[in-house]
Chain A
Amino acid sequence: MAGLGKFLIRRGLTFIPTLIGVTLIVFIIAYVIPANPVRAWAGGEKASQAAIEMIKKEYHLDQPWYDQYWFLVKGLFTNSLLDPLNQEPVFNNIGNRFIVTFQLALFAFFFVILIGLPLGIISALKRNSATDMTLRIIALIFISTPIYVIAYLFIWLFFIHWNATTLAGIPPGPPHTITHIPVIDDILTLDWSNFVQQVERFWLPGFTLGIAAAGVLMRFTRNSFLEAYSRDSTLFLKAKGVPKSRLYRHVLKNALVPVITILALQFGGLLAGTPITETIFNLPGIGLYALQAIMYLDFPALIGVTFLYAIVFVTANLIADILYVIIDPRVRL
């Protein structure tokens, strides 16, 4: 594990071009849209010319594009970029919403792993049997059913029929905050009553959001496991007289390497998939905020959200890279 610090620094440096790239692309897209955001921000068709001029000046819209970009990025890093719709700094608007969304994605991710990994492995172990067939069909249903169908089906089942969840409001976090993500803080501070409240509110939306990704992970794990199983090294383990359970341990470890990549990508995908889930389950998250920002041509907000998503995405990939290093000795730092 020598050199992990160096590796982290080097990987950290690659964050910079990634983030510049992401913000630049969003900026360029916003810049080339033939709409006039200023009029929208100033209040639509009835906006006075004076107000428009003022907003133009405030957001450097009368300046060349690089100056505008610099103004946006500087604003993001100093949190001085104001949301034109309510004159609050962008990250103040995003903050609490992001916590809701992040927690939602965490729940979804939990279900993805809980469902996808074991069922994928069972499917591989019982390959080409009735069990395997059934599991593969279930995975296909998970993947291909639209999320709004699953969501309302689950609400009907778990809320209306069995009353196993709450659908209104957001339970407050625990009194003692460490990471600002309520469930994580609950676990860290052993606050089980608040933990139960959070789970009651978030498990169903998380389950709904995660189910498609769980289907993908199931099939991927199955194939990865079978691929690892069919290698010569597995036959050689058998020729060595290694018992089944231990043989599967080798296979599983080999199969896990590509699965980690998929998991990291899926975490990013879950974050991006939240708007529909948040709308249906009435969660005040960032997905809804981003959708509204798009509708109102609220580019400062949009660039803030994208920036945050990008950070989460590259962090998830960084964690995947670190896991690689731990599992696979061929990956050197």
Chain B
Amino acid sequence: MPEPIVEIKNLSVYFYTYAGVVKAIEDVSFDIYRGETLALVGETGCGKSVTSRAITKLIESPGKIVNGQVIYHRDDGSTVDLLKLSDEGIREIRGNEIAYIFQDPHSSLDPLYTVGYQIGEAMEVHGKVRNIKEGIAKAVNILREVLIPDPENRVKNYPHELSGGMKQRVVIGIGVANNPRLLIADEPTTALDVTVQAQILELLNELKRKYNATVLLITHNLGVVAETAQRVVVMYAGKVVEIGTVDQIFHNPLHPYTTALLRAVPNPLGKIEKLESIPGTVPNLITPPKGCRFHPRCPFAEERCRKEVPKLKEIEPGHFVACHRY
């Protein structure tokens, strides 16, 4: 039985905007197992990033975590609900035990400080080094680890002096600086050149092996999922629709949305006449569809789907789906 490192239970995050309450994610539950790479997939705006940020309460006003628990299992066996921690309590965990890598390296780094300073700062604020000077000295080793050439000189560079791929390596360096137990990578390759994407994923996999860390990988690229993850959580319009191993999701997708998503990936080996797409549009989350949120776009929709919200059911060991067909 795999042992969870984080259990997310009934998590709901709402954004209180002038247009109305945006129910960004609702009743999201899944576990992240120790040592695995879990992929969180779904279209843009389905709540992947919000879910990942809510794990350490990184939700800015007007957003609010309205419900749920995030149970974190420490290495020593103790557990804690992250959402109940004080500001200072959660700050000590962020970037230390649970670290993030954001999507766009061009905007995640502060343009006014050297990359060495920014890596060193990550260690300094968690007391891993005595002062920023020592932090910058240690940053050289981290830059070497994320395969940046000539780290002794690069450490003095400002973000604008580095390429996008290099910047993302720096961001990854900041992420792994404190040897985190869980690394949350929020679309780490989306903003990068295709040729650099593979290198960054390779680096992430290698660092994960080395530090024996757990990775939550957020992506909408199913190719990336197949290559790097062991398990997959599929989200649609703020809800989890299917959870399973990579094998289960790719070979035996149960939810009509997962099926449609997989069909939309072009096969590079065959000749493609027309790109597959899912009919309809992503629903407005201020007034989401009643019942199953996918029913307006679902070819199998029936009366029940319009009224009743489907619950996650375990169909085979480790394979969950939220659909009335099962």
Contacts and interface: CB of A to CB of B under 8 A. Distances in A.
A330 B110 CA distance: 11
A140 B221 CA distance: 50
A231 B106 CA distance: 11
B158 A241 contact: no
Given A238-B58, A239-B58, A239-B95, A328 B111 contact: yes
Contact of B91 (A241, A253, A329, A330): A241
B234 to A, nearest CB: 25
Given A238-B58, A240-B121, A241-B96, A328 B102 contact: no
Contact of B158 (A231, A239, A254, A329): A329
Interface stretch (A7-15, A51-59, A242-250): A242-250
B91 A243 contact: yes
A253 B113 CA distance: 10
Contacts, number: 73
Given A235-B60, A328-B112, A329-B112, A240 B122 contact: yes
A233 to B, nearest CB: 5
Contact of A329 (B94, B111, B122): B111
Given A330-B158, A330-B160, A232 B125 contact: no
Contacts of B321: none
- Interface of A, secondary structure class, is helix
A232 B95 contact: no
A237 interface: yes
A236 B173 CA distance: 13
Contact of B112 (A235, A236, A242, A253): A253
Contacts of A235: 58, 60, 102
B324 interface: no
A239 B99 contact: yes
A327 interface: yes
A233 B121 CA distance: 14
B174 interface: yes
A232 B112 contact: no
A233 B94 CA distance: 15
A235 B111 CA distance: 14
B135 to A, nearest CB: 12
Contacts of A238: 58, 94
Contacts of B92: 241
Given A239-B102, A240-B174, A329-B158, A233 B95 contact: no
Given A233-B110, A236-B108, A330-B158, A242 B125 contact: yes
Interface residues of B, number: 30
Contact of A231 (B100, B107, B160): B107
A254 B58 contact: no
B242 to A, nearest CB: 28
B109 interface: yes
Contacts of A240: 94-95, 99-100, 121-122, 125, 174
Given A329-B160, A330-B158, A239 B109 contact: no
A327 B174 CA distance: 23
A243 B122 CA distance: 11
Contacts of B113: 250
B93 interface: yes
B110 A237 contact: yes
Contact of A233 (B91, B99, B107): B107
B56 interface: yes
Nearest to B93: A241
A253 B56 CA distance: 26
A232 B104 contact: yes
A253 to B, nearest CB: 5
B110 A250 contact: yes
B110 A239 contact: no
A177 to B, nearest CB: 39
Contacts of A243: 91, 125
B126 interface: yes
Interface string A204-235: 00000000000000000000000000011101
Contacts of B94: 238-241
Q: Which of A233, A240, A246, A254 has the most CB of B within 10 A?
A: A240
B112 A239 contact: no
A236 B99 CA distance: 10
A233 B109 contact: yes
Contacts of B160: 329-330
A71 B107 CA distance: 55
Nearest to A329: B158
Contacts of A232: 102, 104, 107-108
Contacts of A250: 110, 112-113
Interface string B148-191: 00000000001010000000000100100000000000000000
15 contacts: A233-B109, A233-B111, A235-B102, A236-B108, A236-B174, A237-B110, A239-B95, A240-B95, A240-B100, A240-B121, A240-B122, A240-B125, A241-B91, A329-B160, A330-B111
Given A239-B100, A243-B91, 20 more contacts: A233-B109, A233-B110, A233-B111, A235-B60, A236-B109, A239-B53, A239-B102, A240-B94, A240-B95, A240-B100, A240-B121, A241-B92, A241-B94, A241-B96, A241-B125, A242-B91, A242-B95, A246-B121, A254-B110, A254-B111
